[in-house]
């Protein structure tokens, strides 16, 4: 790939980008008389412009139909969770009945671990990456305590080698094999939130199964960022949020994937609720839980319509653009960002995200040994919206659905002119 550090190159590339048209479907925060440079979709995606009409539709149906909206709304609420299956199955690489939308990410992780973490017969340990997102750490910590284990014994954290920032796949697989007799669950983030490293989910899953363990993943930084093949990779379960790359809005309902071998097994242990019961007998109001087939059998409560409607609006653009097309642009856009960052000589930073494009998504993490917070503040003062994570990392994430090559160039130009 031959890049150029020029505005002309960026604009000409945008003109030939078939996905550039989707940029106009999103609102950008304002800065002075124009738009801010927004590279923070890994924390909160932008608002799609079709969200307001979508919410207004549900408000009007509530106003005009009241309880009748469950059956007579434009998108009947009774089946609301089903409207996401086609889009999310394409994004996550699974069958439509293996995915559903419900609750929030950490809530779903707890529910899924209650189904799939079953310590017994000397198998009680959970393996995860060191430095996982705090919610994952807390969830795993309290789960092992729930069964009477001590976290320092029951949790195996895999850390990078000394002097390195990211994990080597070979070290993960070796650790799984070495703990094969005591390992019950491997629970990794698909992408590490801090370094931006994309893990080899297929290899980790295979190793976990060979060791006799369950393989689960927190895909918060993967969903809508990198195409998955969860069914073909034989992943047991996964959960994600919808407010990052999927643009579902703050606190949007989370997503869940459960492999069909569990979803089609009515005896699979789970916590039950009315909305997970077989729809054919739900309104008989009888004792005895009969789970729906598929991931829907893990649903608990009535669909959160107003917490799902923005995601539904955003997924329209994922359907139109195509997740594999978005990934192709993302690889190029992130590579362009990397190229431009390497032109900057007056900042002392290191890109700790893997240089191999297949081991990262849309995010590059810039590690500043000194003055990271001050540099982040200078970026904010100049209309750049990125985020800072201790110690010393500024995360930069150009989302291919709405970010442009010119955004990336202008980011570089501003940094070049900063002292």
Burial of 91 (C-beta count, 10 Å sphere; 0-12/13-18/19+)? buried
Contact 158, 167 (CB under 8 A): yes
pLDDT in the model for residue 419: 66
The answer to whether the CB of 395 falls within 8 A of the CB of 385 is no
Q: Count CB atoms within 10 A of the CB of residue 173.
A: 18
Strand partners, 47: 27
pLDDT tens digits, 337-385 = 999 999 998 888 999 999 999 999 999 999 998 999 999 999 999 999 9
Separation CA 341–CA 241 (nearest Å): 30
* CA 178 and chain centroid, separation: 29
By the 8 A CB rule, do 126 and 143 touch?
yes
> Which residues make beta-bridge pairs with 238?
217, 257
Q: Do the bridges between strand 393-396 and strand 387-389 make them parallel or antiparallel, or are there none, so unpaired?
A: antiparallel
Asked whether the predicted pLDDT for residue 37 surpasses 70, the reply is: yes
- pLDDT value at position 325? 98
In the prediction, which pLDDT does 76 show? 97
User: How far lies 86's CA from each of 78, 237, 315, 318, 373, in Å?
Assistant: 17, 18, 10, 11, 42
Structure tokens at 126: 């959970």
Are residues 220 and 189 in contact, defined by beta-carbon separation less than 8 angstroms? yes
Do the Cβ atoms of 239 and 256 come closer than 8 Å? yes
HEC sequence for 46-67: CEECCHHHHHHHHHHHHHHHHH
Calpha distance 204→210 (Å, rounded) = 10
Q: Where are the beta strands (DSSP E) in 168-253?
A: 183-189, 214-218, 237-240
Q: Which pLDDT does position 330 carry in this prediction?
A: 98
In three-state secondary structure terms, 406 is: helix
CB 399 within 8 A of CB 41: yes
Say how far apart CA 337 and CA 357 lie, in whole Å.
12
* % pLDDT > 70, the chain: 100
Convert the pLDDT of each residue in 237-264 to its tens digit.
Answer: 999 999 999 999 999 999 999 999 999 9
The pLDDT of 183-187, averaged and rounded, is: 98
DSSP one-letter string for 92-111: HTS-GGGEEEES-HHHHHHH
* Cα angle for residues 74, 77, 79 (degrees, 5° grid): 105
- Residue ranges of domains in the chain, CATH in brackets: 7-49+322-417 (3.90.1150.10), 55-318 (3.40.640.10)
Q: How confident is the model at residue 281 (pLDDT cuts 50, 70, 90)?
A: confident
Cα separation of 228 and 230, whole Å? 6
Instruction: Report the pLDDT averaged over residues 138-166.
Output: 97
Task: Find out whether 197 and 131 touch, Cβ atoms under 8 Å.
Answer: no
Q: Report residue 239: phi and psi, to 5°.
A: -140, 155
pLDDT of 117: 98
Question: Would you state the structure tokens that stand for residue 285, as one six-digit string?
Answer: 């109001």
Q: Mean pLDDT over all residues of the chain?
A: 97
Edge-to-edge strand ranges of the sheet holding 254-258: 99-102, 254-258, 237-240, 214-218, 183-189, 125-129, 155-158
Strand partners, 67: none
The alpha carbon of residue 119 and the mean position of all alpha carbons in its chain are separated, in whole angstroms, by 27
Q: What is the pLDDT of residue 64?
A: 98
């Amino acid at each position: 790939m031959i890049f150029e550090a020029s505005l002309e190159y960026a604009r000409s590339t945008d003109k030939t980008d078939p996905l550039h048209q989707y940029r106009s479907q999103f609102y950008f925060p304002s800065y002075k008389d124009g738009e801010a440079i927004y590279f923070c979709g890994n924390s909160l995606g932008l608002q799609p412009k079709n969200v307001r009409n979508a919410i207004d539709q549900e408000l009007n149906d509530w106003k005009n139909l009241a309880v009748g909206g469950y059956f007579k709304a434009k998108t009947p609420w009774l089946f609301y969770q089903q409207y996401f299956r086609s889009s999310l199955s394409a994004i996550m690489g699974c069958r439509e009945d293996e995915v559903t939308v419900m609750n929030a990410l950490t809530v779903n992780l707890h529910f899924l671990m209650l189904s799939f973490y079953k310590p017994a017969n000397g198998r009680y340990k959970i393996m995860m990456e060191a430095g996982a997102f705090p919610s994952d750490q807390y969830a795993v910590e309290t789960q092992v305590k729930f069964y009477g284990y001590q976290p320092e014994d029951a949790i195996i954290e895999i850390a990078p080698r000394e002097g390195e920032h990211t994990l080597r796949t070979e070290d993960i697989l070796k650790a799984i094999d070495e703990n094969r007799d005591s390992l019950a669950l491997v629970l990794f983030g698909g992408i590490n939130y801090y370094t931006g490293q994309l893990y080899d989910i297929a290899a980790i899953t295979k190793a976990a199964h060979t060791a006799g363990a369950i393989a689960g993943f927190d895909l918060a930084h993967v969903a809508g960022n990198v195409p998955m093949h969860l069914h073909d990779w034989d992943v047991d379960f996964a959960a994600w949020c919808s407010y990052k790359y999927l643009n579902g809005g703050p606190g949007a309902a989370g997503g869940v994937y459960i492999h069909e071998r569990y979803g089609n097994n009515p005896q699979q242990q789970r916590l039950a609720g009315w909305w997970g019961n077989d729809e054919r007998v739900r309104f008989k109001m009888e004792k005895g839980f009969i789970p729906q087939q598929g991931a829907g059998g893990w649903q608990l409560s009535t669909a959160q319509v107003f917490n799902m409607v923005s995601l539904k609006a955003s997924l329209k653009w994922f359907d139109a653009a195509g997740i594999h097309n978005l990934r192709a642009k993302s690889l190029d856009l992130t590579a362009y960002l990397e190229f431009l960052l390497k032109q900057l000589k007056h900042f002392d930073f290191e890109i700790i995200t893997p240089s191999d494009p297949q081991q990262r998504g849309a995010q590059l993490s810039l590690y500043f040994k000194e003055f990271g917070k001050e540099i982040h503040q200078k970026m904010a003062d100049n209309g750049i919206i990125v985020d800072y994570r201790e110690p010393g990392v500024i995360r930069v994430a150009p989302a291919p659905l709405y970010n442009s090559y010119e955004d990336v160039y202008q980011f570089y130009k501003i940094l070049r002119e900063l002292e």
